[in-house]
Amino acid sequence: MVAMVNKPSGVNPPAIQVRGLSKSFGDRLVLRDLDLEVSQGSFLALFGANGAGKTTLLRILSGQARADAGSVMVAGCSLPKHATTVRRRIGVVSHRGLLYDDLTCLENLVFYGRLFSLSDPVAQARQTLQRLALDSHASQRVRTLSHGQQKRLAIARAILHRPVLLLLDEPEAGLDRDSVNLLEGLLKDWTAQGGTVVMTTHDQARGAAWAHRAVVLADGHIHEQDAVQVERRS
């Protein structure tokens, strides 16, 4: 069952191309023979019950976990072979902030910027903070930020190095209305500029409203959600 919505025309390879992916944890087969294709510049919402394997799928796509079987191409590179190149091209927002509590917002971003060997980490960090309306908190330690602010900083960390593909695991959880709007605007701009987004969420209405396409992960497979089409409320 290969999803072929928005099949890319011309030379652009799909942002994500997964064939026959299987992955088990202990005695549990979480993903079985899964196929998924996501074209460049599109926004995919990924639904599924708790434990359906959404996070596992994202971890495989981000090169953090290795598939047991199947082929995985992300941003034009196959995993796990070209994991380092893939890491440069993707940004990940996971359940955990992946931030250091005793460093300031700016220090956190500059630290990650250096690990991505950005040419001017400080300037890029400041710019990203501004994009997420955190510039007034730049020299505040993460420990002292509110939950929503930490989440925004986590998003800033993910987009800092200008990836082409964003993988978001329930990014809107715990965000207030303003932050959600900020995130929506950011992701819209992102796809408008040719970036690709894959986002898991429990909020079906929001997922349907934001995304170009929505799929459900159940029984280890991807199921298209027919009700959702390219309908965007703007």
Partner 1 sequence: MTQFLGTVAVLVWKDLKLEFRSRDILVSVLVFGLLVALLFSFALKPSPGEGARLAPAILWVALAFSGTITVTRTFVREQEQGGLEGLLLTPASRDAIFLGKALTSFLFMLAVEAVLLPAFSALLAAPLLSAGIAVTAVLATLGFATLGTLFSAIAVQTRSREIMLPVLFFPIILPLLIGAVESSAHALSGGGFSRWLPLMGVFDALFLVLCPWAFGAIMEE
Partner 2 sequence: MSSDAVTARISPAKPLGQTTRWLGLLALVLTLADLYLIFLVAPADAVLGQVQRIFYIHVPMAVLSFLAFFLVFVGSLVFLMRRTPRWDRLAHAATEIGVVLVTLALLTGIIWARPVWGVWWTWEPRLTTTLILWLIYVACLMVRAYAPSRSRGAVYAAVVGIIGFADVPIVYYSVQWWRSIHPAPVVGPLAEAGALEPIMLAIFLFSLAAFLVVFLYLLLQRIAVRRLEDQAAGVRLASGGQASPGAP
Binding footprint of partner 2 on the chain (CB under 8 A): 22-29, 32, 68-69
Burial (0-12, 13-18, 19+ Cβ within 10 Å), 156: buried
Q: What is the CA radius of gyration of the chain?
A: 17
Q: Nearest approach, Cβ of 225 to partner 1 (angstroms)?
A: 29
Tokens encoding 80? 């796990």
104 by DSSP, 3-state: which?
A: strand
Stretch that binds partner 1, among 10-18, 38-46, 108-116, 218-226 (CB under 8 A): 108-116
Closest to 165 (Cα-Cα) out of 195, 189, 186, 187: 195
Q: Which does 100 bind (CB under 5 to 8 A by kind): partner 1, partner 2, none?
A: partner 1
Q: Which of 49, 69, 115, 218 binds partner 1 (CB under 8 A)?
A: 115
By beta-carbon proximity to partner 1, the closer residue of 66 and 147 is 66
Q: Which does 123 bind (CB under 5 to 8 A by kind): partner 1, partner 2, none?
A: none
Q: Which does 174 bind (CB under 5 to 8 A by kind): partner 2, partner 1, none?
A: none
| 96 touching partner 1, by CB under 8 A | yes
By beta-carbon proximity to partner 2, the closer residue of 10 and 26 is 26
Beta strands per DSSP E along the chain: 16-25, 28-38, 43-47, 69-74, 77-79, 90-93, 165-169, 196-200, 213-218, 221-224
Residues 63-92 that bind partner 1 (CB under 8 A): 64-66, 80, 84-85, 87-88, 92
Closest to 182 (Cα-Cα) out of 219, 233, 230, 131: 131
105 by DSSP, 3-state: which?
A: helix
Tokens 């170009």 correspond to: 212
Q: Nearest approach, Cβ of 200 to partner 2 (angstroms)?
A: 21
| 114 touching partner 1, by CB under 8 A | yes
Q: Which residues lie near partner 1 (CB under 8 A)? A: 59, 62, 64-66, 80, 84-85, 87-88, 92, 94, 96-103, 107, 111-112, 114-117, 157
